């Protein structure tokens, strides 16, 4: 029996059994010292439980877990959890080997340069009925957290980011809104005191934003874009609405999300013959506060 099925079915802790409360704590939804433990806000608990039941991932096996960073909660999965979700879909047909590059031109199957990390990694995921693998590229500049693991094994860490991106691209219905710890490592960097500007993964400065809801479901519009050309109007409209600084459920701002999405898209929309295509949009239900990076991903 899956541990996920033994989790509570509600975010109301007054209805939990002692076993369910223990599983919630083991899943990372309780933080603080032993004498002052506190449960994550109920919306976070409800979202976590929904992800567990939707994906069937096991928090005790660390396939999925919650984590608090600087007072902000996020839900993460392991790369094994992402692989498991893809396998269970019945549509997964393997993937290409990870490749790395220093210049974006020459790609190698093994990274042996110990003097510097790779500039980018790429992985392609095969899905049944798709003509070509869905390829995703992760850059070192965007994802490196500068910690011990990124310094010791940069190629491995970057490869996991690329694989997670590719799996989520191939299986958006199953993995949308879930990110791996390797992808979110950069969010662990300590924040500066007060509202002082801070550089993000792209070298742009950040500020603290006000609490407010987005004007539109920007994620649905962005995820529908098939190229950078189709993504630009979404950026421009969100910028005009003042919503680029709004934080999405994984901890990134919408602007950061656009930058990461842009890296996975071609410049122009591919010309394809589409038969009986269905686009499924997943609404975003959690938009807390975030920081504002400068720059235009177009």
pLDDT tens for each residue of 24-46? 888 889 887 777 888 989 988 99
**What pLDDT score does 152 carry?**
92
pLDDT tens for each residue of 47-69? 899 888 888 999 888 899 988 87
Secondary structure of residue 176 in the 3-state scheme? coil
Query: What is the block-wise mean pLDDT of the chain (298 residues), using blocks of 10 residues?
Result: 67 88 89 82 90 89 86 88 94 96 95 94 95 94 87 94 95 88 71 39 40 65 87 86 72 78 83 54 51 55
pLDDT tens for each residue of 101-125? 999 999 999 999 989 999 999 999 9
Cα–Cα distance for residue pair 77/160, rounded to 1 Å: 12
Q: Could you count the other beta carbons within 10 Å of the beta carbon of residue 273?
A: 6
**What pLDDT score does 278 carry?**
54
**What pLDDT score does 223 carry?**
84
Q: Could you count the other beta carbons within 10 Å of the beta carbon of residue 250?
A: 17
């Amino acid at each position: 029996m899956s541990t996920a099925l033994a989790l509570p079915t509600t975010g109301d802790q007054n209805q939990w059994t002692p076993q369910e409360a223990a599983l919630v704590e083991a899943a990372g939804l309780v933080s603080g010292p032993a004498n002052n433990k506190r449960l994550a806000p109920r919306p976070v608990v409800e979202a976590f439980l929904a992800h567990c039941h939707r994906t069937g991932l096991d928090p005790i096996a660390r396939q999925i877990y919650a984590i608090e960073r600087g007072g902000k909660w996020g839900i993460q999965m392991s790369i094994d959890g992402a692989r498991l979700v893809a396998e269970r879909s019945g549509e997964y047909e393997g993937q290409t080997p990870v490749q790395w590059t220093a210049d974006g031109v020459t790609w190698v199957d093994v990274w042996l340069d110990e003097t510097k990390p790779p500039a980018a990694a790429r992985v392609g995921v095969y899905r049944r009925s798709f003509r070509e693998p869905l390829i995703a590229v992760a850059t070192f500049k965007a994802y490196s957290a500068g910690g011990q693991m990124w310094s010791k094994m940069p190629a491995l860490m970057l490869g996991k980011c690329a694989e997670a991106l590719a799996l989520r691209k191939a299986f958006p219905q199953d993995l949308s809104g879930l990110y791996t710890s390797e992808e979110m490592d950069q969010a662990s960097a300590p924040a500066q005191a007060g509202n002082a500007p801070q550089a993000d993964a792209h070298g742009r400065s950040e500020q603290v934003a006000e609490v407010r809801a987005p004007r539109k479901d920007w994620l649905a519009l962005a995820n529908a874009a098939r190229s950078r050309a189709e993504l630009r109007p979404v950026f421009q409209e969100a910028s005009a609405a003042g919503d680029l600084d709004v934080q999405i459920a994984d901890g990134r701002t919408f602007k950061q999300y656009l930058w990461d999405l842009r890296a996975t898209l071609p410049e122009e929309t591919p010309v394809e013959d589409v038969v009986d295509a269905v686009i499924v949009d997943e609404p975003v239900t959690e938009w807390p506060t975030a920081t504002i990076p400068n720059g235009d991903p177009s």
